[in-house]
Amino acid sequence: MHEWSIAEGIVTALLESFKDQKVLEVEIKIGELRDLNIEVLREALSILSEGTGLENSRFRLIVSKAVFKCLSCGEKWMMDKALEILSEMLEASEYIVEEGELEPPIHFIPSLVAGLQRCPRCGRMDIEIESGKELEVSKVYLSQ
C-alpha cells in the first residue's frame, strides 16, 4: 500500500509549503504507469488531512494516460496497444495465477510495459515514455 506513504509525503509537503494559508483545492497528476489505486490514495489524503490545515481541502486526482514513442520511426501509441503488444510477446503459461485468476506480469511489475515494448510500426525496442509516469502536485488553490 504505497498509496499511504505517497499521501503522507504530499500532505507533509503541502503543510510545510502553505503553513499560514488556507488550501482550498489541490490538483495531483498521476501517471497511468504509476499503478496507484486512486481511491485508496484519495482516502489516505482525506484521513491524513484530518485535524490539519488541509482538513476540508478538496483533492482532485487526475490520471494522465501513458503515451509511448518509438525513437526510431516516431510512431506513438497508448496503453491499450502497449498491453496488446505485451500479451502477444508473452505465452499464457507465463501468466501468474492469483486468487484463481490469470494475471499478466504487468499487474505485478508495471515497468514491464515499457521494458518489453516493441514499436507496432517498425518492431524496434528503442522506446521512450512520453507521459504516464507523472506523480506531481500540479496546482494548489488558496483562499484569499
Averaged pLDDT score across all residues of the chain: 88
State how far the Cα of 58 lies from the Cα of 82, in Å rounded to an integer: 33
State how far the Cα of 104 lies from the Cα of 96, in Å rounded to an integer: 6
The predicted model scores a pTM of 0.81
pLDDT at 9: 98
State how far the Cα of 10 lies from the Cα of 122, in Å rounded to an integer: 41
**Interval 46-67 mean pLDDT:** 96
Q: Is the dihedral of CA 25, 55, 17, 60 positive or negative?
A: negative
Per CATH, the number for 2-65+132-142 is 3.30.2320.50
Confidence grade of residue 114 (pLDDT, cut at 50, 70, 90):
confident
CATH 3.30.2320.50 in the chain, residues?
2-65+132-142
